[in-house]
Amino acid sequence: MKKVATPPEYSEIRPGQSIELLKALHILTRDGKMNQDSRRKLKQVYHLYQFIEPLLQSVQKEQGALTLVDHGAGKSYLGFILYDLFFKVLKDASHIYGIETREELVAHSRELAQLLGFDGMSFLNLSVAESIVSDKLPAKVDVVTALHACDTATDDAINFALKKQAKHIVLVPCCQAEVAAVLRKNKGKQLAKDALTELWRHPIHTREFGSHITNALRCLQLEAHGYQVTVTELVGWEHSMKNELIIASYKDLPRQRAAQRLNEVLHSVGLEEMNERFFTD
């Protein structure tokens, strides 16, 4: 069979991608053209996909059909791209679930999936916390993603992944306000006993340090559950400084040291009351 050449205007798009999907996601203009902005968006999509594709491939190679849950899905941008690039050619029970609290976005995603014939996608109007106990999701899932799930929603996504025994977890945390609030509350007491509290004495430093230590604690929590954790930068994904990418893969690694370090860090910076948030049992 003669191979059909990719039209010149689509030369930067991977073969087999849905042009209608790219239009719906505003990666292509309404008339299917590419401009400087759409090229930037496409580059961002492929940049993120290069991190997730190997995880999907490893699960597929190990067991065949796979299940992915995307938390704080919004317009399900990530879910649709993953389905289009990886899932739609699979002839098995592989499935993507998008979890989102805004009902209108869930309805829109359902309509788009139906329009495109993406039958292996479901969209649920649930909070991340509600999804942990919902019978609309399987007892076990393979991959969990949460991009820019605000503040404690990222922690809820981690909790979900641990409860569902996820093999891989992909996180881009956002708006880590909870830890900063506790640091602020206990700042006076900590200043009296530890000079390192100067690192977060000023309000702007409290916010920045709170954001940094939140992610460090999340990494230790995941390691304390046997995951191998990689932290990198997701350059250019959004117009945001929140571009830290955390990837965790379950390897059944030793847990004791990470759990001990986690408790030591919580104690050192006056966050003992947050033991439950970063649970290790």
- Report domain extents, the chain: 176-281
**pLDDT score, position 5:** 46
How many helices (H) does the chain have, and how many strands (E)? 9, 7
Nearest to 25 by CA among 124, 109, 110, 145: 109
**pLDDT score, position 168:** 98
**pLDDT score, position 221:** 96
Structure tokens at 137: 């999701």
Q: Specify the higher pLDDT residue, 202 or 281.
A: 202
**pLDDT score, position 277:** 84
What is the rounded average pLDDT for all residues in the chain?
Answer: 87
Sheet holding 67-71, edge to edge: 121-125, 95-100, 67-71, 143-150, 168-174, 244-250, 227-233
Continuous H helices in 88-151: 103-116, 128-133
**pLDDT score, position 139:** 94
DSSP 34: -
CA quadruple 83, 36, 242, 257: dihedral, nearest 10: 60
Q: Which residues contact 150 (CB under 8 A, 6 or more apart)?
A: 72, 174, 175
* Identity of residue 129: A
Q: Are strands 227-233 and 244-250 parallel, antiparallel or unpaired?
A: antiparallel
Q: Helix, strand or coil for residue 231?
A: strand
Average pLDDT of span 125-154: 89
Task: Report pTM.
Answer: 0.90
pLDDT band at 6 (very low <50, low <70, confident <90, very high): very low
From the CB of residue 114, how many other CB atoms can be counted at a distance below 10 Å? 11
Q: Report the C-alpha gap between 252 and 255 in whole angstroms.
A: 8
- Cα angle 176, 180, 183 (rounded to 5 degrees) comes to 155
Q: How far is residue 123 CA from its own chain's centroid? A: 16
| Statement: residue 3 has pLDDT above 70 | no
Q: Specify the higher pLDDT residue, 179 or 246.
A: 246
Q: Helix, strand or coil for residue 28?
A: coil
Q: Which residues contact 19 (CB under 8 A, 6 or more apart)?
A: 10, 13, 28, 32
Q: Are strands 143-150 and 168-174 parallel, antiparallel or unpaired?
A: parallel
**pLDDT score, position 220:** 96
